[in-house]
Amino acid sequence: MSGPTSAPVVRGRFAPSPTGPLHFGSLVAALASFCDARHRGGEWLVRIEDVDTPRSRPDAERAILAALDRFGLRGDGAIVRQSERTALYEAALARLAAAGLVYRCACTRRELEAGALNAIGERVYPGTCRNGVAAARAHAPQAWRLRVTARATSFTDRVQGRQTQDLARDVGDFVVRRADGLFAYQLAVVVDDAAQGITSVVRGADLLTSTLRQTYLQRCLDLPTPEYLHVPVATDDGGHKLSKNTHAAPLASGDPVPALLAAWCFLGQQAPTATPTSAAQFLDHAIRAWSCARIPATATLPAPRV
Ligand code: GLU
């Protein structure tokens, strides 16, 4: 595999958090990112996002990798694990600190809960520690927050269209390193996508608003912004996102083709005329036939029964 300096035209990735087995929603994201990269002759990497070490489980990582293999979704190059990349995140935080873009925050959970809610019910950080931590908290555990000065931040998603957010009003200064010392997902993902030379991020639409934080962070760190494509998130009967945290059912073992076909149709893609007999045969069709113009431009869709 070539390094980031001689990056191919397209390099995509699938970046699961190992908190549970692969479920239908994560298969959709994996299949979409794989087909999108391969259809354009690009590379596809697998990155294990175990930055939140207390929530990550080795058995979940094993189950995810075994499932990807069973579905024929094999990445290029070695698998990267965020738990092994702390030095890169430290260096990025040091750059932000040197530029005066981050500050320490010793707010308690109760203080954070006093912040206003934005339109989608998320807490906005009220800026309590912006001008320094209160003396009484000097020895309390402290997070690091990124100083958000931007008002309207936008990007154009390849499927969902133009996305805009007033970061200062709707998010506030956000955490890049947690008070327990762990790096936040937002910082890790931005550092890793750049370090791995990712040109094309394809993932679930639940991360649409995170993308605005990530593009802001990319500008602060002087890193390139990849193109983004957010696919609909699969929801259960109650309209909730299928998620590893809420114990979404793992995919049935055995023949991988029915789940692949269900994920393919969920993505609005045209079914092959004859039912494929193997994952490899299905993927041959999928790589050729992939069309991102067919993906429904919606944030959620009910999951089919697989
Ligand atoms: N690790 C995240 C997840 O499993 C995905 C993050 C991303 O694709 O940027 O939901």
Is the beta carbon of 28 within 6 A of some atom in ligand 1?
Answer: no
Span 184-243, pLDDT tens digits: 999 999 999 999 999 999 999 999 999 999 999 999 999 999 999 999 999 988 888 888
Mean pLDDT of the chain: 94
| pLDDT tens sequence across 43-62 | 999 999 999 999 999 999 99
Q: Does residue 142's CB lie within 6 angstroms of at least one atom of ligand 1?
A: no
Q: Return the ligand 1 atom nearest residue 204 CA.
A: 8
Report yes or no: 101 and 147 within 8 Å, Cβ to Cβ: yes
Distance 136 CA to ligand 1 centre (A): 37
266 and 298 in contact (C-beta within 8 Å)? no
Q: Is the pTM here over 0.85, yes or no?
A: yes
Summarize pLDDT for 204-214 with one digit per residue, the tens: 999 999 999 99
Report residue 5's pLDDT band, with 50, 70 and 90 as the boundaries.
Answer: low
Domains within the chain, CATH numbers bracketed? 11-86+190-302 (3.40.50.620), 97-185 (3.40.50.620)
Q: What 8-state DSSP symbol labels residue 183?
A: B
Token pair for 77: 């190059």
Max Cα–Cα distance, the chain, nearest Å: 70
Ligand 1 mean position, distance from CA 135 (Å)? 37
pLDDT reported for residue 18 = 97
pLDDT number for residue 4: 52
Do residues 274 and 261 touch, judged by C-beta distance below 8 A? no
CB of 16 within 6 A of ligand 1: the answer is: yes
pLDDT at 2 over 50: no
The answer to whether the CB of 203 is under 6 A from ligand 1 is yes
Block residue for tokens 């690009």: 42
